Amino acid sequence: MKHVDVQQIQPETADRLNGLIADFVGQGQAYYQNTFAYMMQAPGYRFTLNKVAAILGPIWFGARGLWSWFLGFLVLETLAYIQIGLGLFGDLGREFRERAAQIEQTLELRRQQIAAAEQTGSATLDSLKRAAESLEGALVGAQDAARGADSTGMTYLAVGIVLLLAVKFLAASVANWTLEGQFVRWRSDSSVAHGWSTSRMVVAAVLTGIVVVLSMIKFAQPDALAVLKTFPTNRDWRLNVGDGVQAVFEWTKTAGRGFFDGLTYGMRTLLDWIEVVLVDTPWPVVALVIIMLAYLSAGARVAIFTGAALAYLGLLDFWEKAMTTIALLGAAALISITLGIPLGIYCARRPRAFAIVRPILDFMQSMPSFVYLIPVVAFIGSGKPAGVVATMIFGSPPVIRFTVLGLQQVPETVREAALAFGATPRYLLWRVDLPLAHKTIMAGVNQTILMSLAMVVVASLIGAKGLGEDVLEALQYAAAGQGILAGLAILFCALILDRIVAGRK
């Protein structure tokens, strides 16, 4: 590395920069003052080598508080040490020896059968001898393969050493660059980790030792520590916990029977009313209304597409099931939007409430959709109301999140101006916040509708009717053609709803 005198930088700022670097690095002040001065002469990466980082590897990055780089180099060095461990004391032929042992057991059984066949004069004697000969050849091959695998130890050792040296060189070449970047961040944010911390070094060393040693043992000698092969557990624990959860479900179902019966009745009533409108109304009326909505919301091109999609549903006998699907979706989306937007407004104005609600939303979005069916069926039973509840749980998080996001993005200057002119909280919400957040909230409504439609097939597993039932039957009977047609029907329903809700772009 070219020697650069820090005094070549502007004289009036060199002393202050040296002081900042000294405060930041802790140990090795003179080295880093000179190195940082060299690196600051030009933007971007400049090649330097840090010998301490090369020797300590990930421990150096941990001691400096560069934990993301610590993890990266820990993984790379562990891979290298695994190769070295395989070369030094690895049981490389273990798999082939286990195979040979299995062949020997089978061969011993065949020999016993041959001996018995020779005594009885069985007609299968020749076939047994041929099988034994084949097994003897396989045994010799497995033993040769085991010896060949054992002889590759030096190759693993050489590869591991080369890989370790390459990782060490990489660590040395990026160490100063990463530390200089952290120094830049530290100058604007004093909370950034800085200095050489002995406690961080100890933590990094312990983590490195645990990861490297256990990984080497697991790959080189798999049978050395049984605890590394399987997680120490007891099947009775899961059974006992499962029984406890089941008991909680039973108690909740019994104690809340009135609530769940009322919820089921309300869902069924809402579904019946929507189905009266969509299913019992003459199909030309329903189609005409949908096409007009598409035209008024998104224009003539979307209206033409909507007409073609509705024709597809009708001509292929999907009309009634499509309307049933939209009724189930409409009930779930209506409840989700009616409850989600007010809840989002409340959370946007009360961060503490959103801090409680956000983990619940994360849980609702992270949980696999099939898992929703278990508590829903346990509390409500099967059928359309259960499908509405499961769809509502799965589809409601987006409208809540987008409502919070839209209101949080309203400029404070606009709100302050409205308040300065005497706006009341109600006026501020209805005339300022919601109009400015309208596009974001509608994006959340759109996502809620589409995610609810994605539950159509899953909801059919618990008795919800509609197009999902056709897809499920196609999967059960491997009817690919019928399944594709039903899937396209669901797709067209989704596109129609998406275009109508999104409106003109």
pLDDT given at position 7: 45
- Asked whether the beta carbons of 75 and 96 are under 8 A apart, the reply is no
3-state secondary structure of 133: helix
Helices (H), 421-460: 425-427, 434-436, 438-454, 456-459
3-state secondary structure of 161: helix
pLDDT given at position 229: 79
- Asked whether the beta carbons of 329 and 456 are under 8 A apart, the reply is yes
User: Residue 388 corresponds to which tokens in the numbers above?
Assistant: 């509405």
Write out the H or E segment, with its range, that includes residue 399: helix 384-408
* 3-state SS track over 215-278: HHHHHHCCCCCHHHCCCCCCHHHHHHHHHHHHHHHHHHHHHCHHHHHHHHHHHHHHHHHHHHHH
Give the count of beta carbons closer than 10 Å to the beta carbon of residue 433. Answer: 22
Give the count of beta carbons closer than 10 Å to the beta carbon of residue 280. Answer: 10
> Please, is 80 exposed, middle or buried when counting C-beta atoms within 10 Å of its C-beta (0-12, 13-18, 19+)?
buried
Residues in CB range of 436: below 8 A, 6 or more apart: 406, 409, 410, 411, 414
* Of 47, 36, 51, 50, nearest in space to 4 by CA: 36
pLDDT given at position 407: 92
DSSP state of 122: -
399 vs 337: CA distance, rounded Å:
7
pLDDT given at position 505: 52
* CA dihedral (458, 463, 464, 469) positive or negative: positive
* Of 201, 208, 176, 225, nearest in space to 80 by CA: 208
What is the full per-residue pLDDT of the chain (505 aa) written as tens digits?
A: 444 444 444 444 677 888 888 889 888 888 998 998 888 887 788 899 999 999 999 999 999 999 999 999 999 999 999 999 999 888 888 888 888 888 888 888 888 888 888 787 777 778 888 888 888 888 888 888 888 888 888 999 999 999 999 999 999 999 999 999 999 899 888 888 888 999 999 999 999 999 999 999 988 888 878 788 787 778 888 888 888 888 988 888 888 888 888 888 888 888 888 878 888 888 899 899 989 988 888 888 889 999 999 999 899 888 888 888 888 888 888 888 889 999 999 999 898 999 999 999 988 888 877 777 888 888 887 788 888 888 888 888 999 999 999 999 988 888 888 888 888 888 888 888 889 998 899 888 888 888 887 777 777 877 777 788 888 888 777 788 888 888 888 888 888 887 887 765 5
- Asked whether the beta carbons of 474 and 480 are under 8 A apart, the reply is yes
197 vs 27: CA distance, rounded Å:
10
74 vs 61: CA distance, rounded Å:
10
What letter represents residue 344's amino acid? G
pLDDT given at position 65: 92
Helices (H), 151-233: 153-188, 198-220
- Asked whether the beta carbons of 53 and 192 are under 8 A apart, the reply is no
**Helix%, strand%, coil% for the chain, nearest 5:** 85, 0, 15
Give the count of beta carbons closer than 10 Å to the beta carbon of residue 99. Answer: 18
- Asked whether the beta carbons of 395 and 332 are under 8 A apart, the reply is yes
DSSP state of 280: I
- Asked whether the beta carbons of 168 and 54 are under 8 A apart, the reply is yes
Gyration radius from the chain CA atoms: 35
82 vs 177: CA distance, rounded Å:
28
Residue with tokens 């624990």: 237
Is the pTM value of this prediction over 0.85? no
* Of 276, 316, 280, 310, nearest in space to 292 by CA: 310
Helices (H), 281-383: 283-298, 300-315, 319-349, 351-366, 369-380
Residue with tokens 């999907």: 318
CB environment 336-349: b (16+ within 10 A), e (fewer) = bbeebbebbbebbe
